[in-house]
Structure 1
Amino acid sequence: MSTDPAQEWKNWHERRVETVSAPYGPLALTGTHWLADAVEGRIPAVPGEWREDDDAVVLTATAQDGIVLDGEPFSGEVRLTADHTPVGESRLAQGARRLVVLRREGLWAVRVWDPEAERRRAFAGIGATPYEARWAVPATFRPYDEARTVRVANADGVERGLGLGGELAFALDGREHTLQVAVEDDGALWAVFADATSGDSTFRFRFLRPGAPDAQGRLTVDFNRALLPPCAFAEHFICPFPPPGNTLDAAVAAGERTVLTR
């Protein structure tokens, strides 16, 4: 394994390109259909009849709909819960497409993933700034006494709750900054942020996943690995925008910038 940070970054970048361009990667998402908006249980371009029933979604389909459930042709009625498996292993399929049941804040939706999606065919890579050591900086995680939830706009124009567990403190070019972060189940931190390049030379916001802090709250924040959010690859994702205070006045000219197309 390489110990050269620049080579490690290059390897990471190549893996990212492979991941997003995979048959059921983010470029393959062609629709997020909320059942609350379905007219008489019908979803555009999705076979079957769909309805909410408290803690489940009920799908009714005929053999002519061409739906496969758990690997077998399906007809009849089935109750479905949210699908947490990888998209390629989802319970429902129609040909090469995968139909994934989703739940957000009590609302149900069906997502459609299609390896033949136009955006996947047009994808030509991720525009990213080559590695620079100055963008990998020491940081300190300061947890909140209690987890907080703030309402933020999402990429689909709807406000939703964003859980926050503390803040990261770090310095860039001699200036102190903080970012509010979520704490994931494994202790890893996650932030959505913008900076002075956002909407100009980079996408309008990005994600940062610096890992988990040590017992003293110390870790390294590497902006060379700033990530484009899923909604940069397909407009049907519902990515949260940065919470108040997470727009840096510094220009973070590092990490992923844009999606390249043919």
Structure 2
Amino acid sequence: MSTEAEKDWRAWHAERERTVSGPTGPLALTGTYWLADRPGGRIEGVPGRWTEDGDAVLLTAGAEDGLSLDGVPLDGEARLGVDGGPETARVTHGDRRLVVLRREGLWAVRVFDPHSEALRAFAGIDAFPYDARWRLTGRFRPYEQGRTVQVPNADGRERGLGLGGELAFTVDGEEHTLQAAVEADGSLWAVLADATSGTESYHFRFLRPPAPAADGTVTVDLNRTLLPPCAFADHFICPFPPPGNTLPFALRAGERQLSGG
């Protein structure tokens, strides 16, 4: 019989599949376009002229371009800041959402299309069966000062990855640690690999434990190890695991890869 923890995991897995296959999920991303590479401001397949303008992006479009800003047809110019994500993107083109982002001082536009080929082909996320032995109690040891390490990213460039501390847990009597970032809400985020990476599972995965308790203890449920966004679309920029974040054992828990992948 299923335990409550396993039932919770099944519900979590079903919600993950629903979220990634939604109209603004990672499968809907069809392109990330860096404006520095487009001095004329033109993006293939995207109407309007998009140019960097200091601390904003200047979008110039005519009524014939069919762009809308905050739900109103755009005919003229608009200065755009960073969007929070596709759900809150200010600019749309039909069903597509055009998301403005900035990384390391560089501006880009991302296109999310609810009719993308990847969405049409989605058949689910393969995951290892739930196993209670991978639900652990760990401890978070914050660094005295945050640190940044340079790591390769999925697009071939190196970027800084901010880290706030060390997540420690014990498997088969041996302690293991992962360097982790601390999110704005206090939750943790680790990028990791293990002995299954690149064979039984994707090349690397994410783990997002909740915020630690006041004494540093935190639930480390490795059954909820996640595929990174770049497993769903090539246009995402995902950091690879930092040094020391490759576990020496086979973590047969959590998401493995896209079904049929």
TM range (shorter): over 0.9
Aligned residue type for 1:73: P
Match of 2:140 in 1: 141
Match of 1:248 in 2: 247
Match of 2:71 in 1: 71
Deviations along 1:119-138, whole A, 9 cap, x unmatched? 01000000001210110111
Match of 2:225 in 1: 226
Unpaired runs of at least 5, structure 2 = none
Does residue 58 in structure 1 map to residue 47 in structure 2? no
Does residue 4 in structure 1 map to residue 4 in structure 2? yes
- Please tell me whether the aligned partners of residues 148 and 161 of structure 2 are also in contact (alpha carbons under 8 angstroms): yes
Equivalent-residue separation in structure 1 for 2:3 and 2:133 (angstroms): 17
Equivalent-residue separation in structure 2 for 1:94 and 1:154 (angstroms): 29
TM-score (norm 2): 0.97
Could you tell me the percent identity over the aligned residues? Answer: 65
- Please tell me whether the aligned partners of residues 60 and 76 of structure 2 are also in contact (alpha carbons under 8 angstroms): yes
TM-score (norm 1): 0.97
- Please tell me whether the aligned partners of residues 126 and 257 of structure 2 are also in contact (alpha carbons under 8 angstroms): yes
> Where do 1:15-34 residues align within 5 Å?
15-34=15-34
- Quote the offset at 1:261 in angstroms: 4.4
- Following TM superposition, the consecutive aligned residue runs of length 4 or more in structure 1 with deviations greater than 4 angstroms are none
Equivalent-residue separation in structure 1 for 2:212 and 2:39 (angstroms): 48
Deviations along 1:130-179, whole A, 9 cap, x unmatched? 21011011111111010001111111111111100000111112222100
- Quote the offset at 1:3 in angstroms: 6.9
Number of positions where the alignment pairs a residue of Structure 1 with one of Structure 2: 260
- Please tell me whether the aligned partners of residues 122 and 261 of structure 1 are also in contact (alpha carbons under 8 angstroms): no
Question: Secondary structure of 1:119's partner?
Answer: helix
> Where do 1:20-169 residues align within 5 Å?
20-84=20-84, 86-169=85-168
Match of 1:207 in 2: 206
Aligned residue type for 1:211: P
Question: Secondary structure of 1:185's partner?
Answer: coil
Unpaired runs of at least 5, structure 1 = none
Question: Secondary structure of 2:17's partner?
Answer: helix
Equivalent-residue separation in structure 1 for 2:98 and 2:76 (angstroms): 17
